[in-house]
Amino acid sequence: MPALPTSAVIGVIGAGAMGAGIAQVAAQAGHQVILHDNQPGAAKAGIDNIRRQLEQRVAKGKMSQGDVDNIIARLQPADAIDALADSHLVIEAIVENLEIKRQVFAQLEALCSPGTLLASNTSSLSITSIAANLERPERMAGLHFFNPAPVMKLVEVVSGLATTNEAADTLFDTAIAWGKVAVHASSTPGFIVNRVARPFYAEGLRLLQESASDAATLDALMRQAGGFRMGPFELMDLIGHDVNYAVTRSVFDAYYGDTRFKPSLVQHALVEAKRLGRKSGQGFYDYPREGQREGTEKPQPKFAAPVNTKLPALVVQGANGTIAPLLERAQEAGLDVVHRESLQQDGTPRLYLGDLILALSDGRCAAERAVNEGLEALVLFDLCLDYRSASAIALAASHTTSPEARQLATAFFQRLGMDVAWLTDTPGLVVLRTVAMLANEAADAVLQGVCSAQDGDLAMQAGVNYPRGPLAWADSLGLPFVHRTLTHLQQSYGEERYRSSFLLRRKALSEESFHE
């Protein structure tokens, strides 16, 4: 279906943070927009606010005053809902309350023509449920923008049970015409992004709760090794713990208590203490209030002090594509790298520095691998987005590993120019377990028909700036490895939370990938 033409009038209900932003996006794309809010004067205030923000862009030379005037001329405030009668599409962005939203859509149905498309920007309510009492629920869908709507690229086009493909496709193409990245999703709890992103927070919280390391070190590892723009703790502080906890709770409840979405006691305690993050001045970190300077320095990650030890040749057994860039980096750092035939049955690569074995984590802790495989000196290292450019890495040693062998491991990664963070011996370390769980959640969303693999990856990159789509990342690691990692995590904890998605398992067994 083609996008709505710019001659189509767009109605927006709710002139708060989201509604005003969406109205701005539609007006910038060339539509006449009627912005309605039931608080007298709120719609006009919303448009005044848009003007102020656009004029800041003029001051920075990013926009002309003429463009601003044209955009503002296309925005019309309305205190009465009747003004939306001639709209071709109405997007609702009012309070997140099912009953109130249902009432507003019932009013719209009575007011607008039968061909008017109806959309809700809800982040957590079911589109099927909002549309249930409509006479024509087939023309209603979710159009989920992210905050701030003029900046964030992603729009999830959410189909309820009754939504026609025609309606969803028109909204999809319209979002694209408005300069957005659009993805299709079916109306299920959390849609794509708010569901697939849960492990990003949950695994961080779990590592903290289990004293694997501290928040600053875990954040630094997710940035410097994982390539994420922010670590989970700084991101939760930015989102606000009340909001982040509420989303987790709502997804957990909506999936009937599936332990994969289980909220964290660590975060609950912050909410109880009203340490909501940046907005309250305190969360995992402290934030300076106005006029306050002292006592708010951000804690630094705990990286190992420099170790200067002569390094023996690196003997490589069974290297695979994942760690090949690490070996290239070692060679470039002047180390002797010697390849040997693989002796591991599962093809898992091992690196030897004298008697010390370095191995990529596979979801088991170092103690378990050392005991099972009869190894004395074993250090596990974490996954990196790109071993060539990563500037930090997490390590964990088995209880059998001597302090000297640990020093050797530190010296090796430091020689490559990486900061080294020693974790307590934790299964799956930090980046690997998070990426495996993100991919697992995305795989289940695909299995359940919530989205395609392509849209799942696109949503996570455009919606929350992930450096790589979780499924493409899993493909590149090899699905058998990701499946094995999850199975090991499940065995390590004895928890269903880490169970592998059946789709991931099937694809691993049949040597398929998510993206052919």
Shortest gap between Cβ of 15 and ligand NAD (angstroms)? Answer: 5
| Shortest Cβ 275–ligand NAD spacing (Å) | 20
- Please, what is the minimum distance in Å from the beta carbon of residue 193 to ligand NAD? 10
Cα separation, 326 vs 340, in Å, equals 16
Question: Is there binding between residue 104 and ligand NAD (CB under 6 A)?
Answer: yes
Q: Could you tell me if 84 and 78 are in contact, meaning their C-beta atoms sit under 8 angstroms apart?
A: yes
Nearer to ligand NAD, 81 or 405 (CB): 81
Name residue 198's amino acid. Answer: R
Residue span 4-33 as binding mask against ligand NAD, x where in contact by CB under 6 A, dash where not: ---------xxxxxxx--------------
The one segment of 34-42, 322-330, 366-374, 400-408 that binds ligand NAD by CB under 6 A? 34-42
State whether residue 68 is helix, strand or coil. helix
Least Cβ distance, residue 358 to ligand NAD (angstroms): 43
CB of 61: closest distance to ligand NAD in angstroms?
29
45 binds ligand NAD (CB under 6 A): no
State the Cα–Cα distance between residues 220 and 202, nearest whole angstrom.
Answer: 17
Q: Is 194 a catalytic residue?
A: yes
Number of residues that bind ligand NAD (CB under 6 A): 23
Of 28, 122, 126, 264, the one binding ligand NAD (CB under 6 A) is 122
For the purposes of burial, counting CB atoms within 10 Å of the CB of 287, is it exposed (0-12), middle (13-18) or buried (19 or more)? middle
Do 63 and 57 form a contact (C-beta atoms < 8 A)? yes
Contact present, 361 and 429 (Cβ < 8 Å): yes
What is the three-class DSSP state of 169? helix
Respond yes or no: is residue 156 known to be catalytic.
Answer: yes
User: Which position among 87, 120, 121, 123 bears the catalytic label?
Assistant: 123
**Per rule CB under 6 A, is residue 231 in the interface with ligand NAD?**
no
Given the complex with ligand NAD, which of 83 and 307 has the nearer CB atom?
83
197 sits near ligand NAD (criterion: CB under 6 A): no
Interacting residues of 236 by C-beta distance below 8 A, sequence separation 6+: 201, 204, 244, 267, 277, 283, 284
For residues 144 to 183, the per-residue mask of contacts with ligand NAD, x marking binding by CB under 6 A and - elsewhere, is -xxx------------------------------------
Task: Name which position in 12, 23, 93, 394 contacts ligand NAD (CB under 6 A).
Answer: 93
CB 138 within 8 A of CB 123: no
42 binds ligand NAD (CB under 6 A): yes
Query: Which residue out of 87, 194, 213, 398 is catalytically annotated?
Result: 194
C-alpha to C-alpha distance for 484 and 424, rounded to whole angstroms: 22
By CB atoms closer than 10 A (0-12, 13-18, 19+), residue 83 is middle
- Calpha distance 207→454 (Å, rounded): 30
Site for ligand NAD in 382-421 (CB under 6 A): none
Q: Read off φ and ψ for residue 378, nearest 5 degrees.
A: -130, 125
Which residues in this chain contact ligand NAD in the complex, by CB under 6 A?
Answer: 13-19, 37-39, 42, 93-96, 100, 104, 121-123, 145-147
Residue positions annotated with a catalytic role: 123, 144, 156, 194
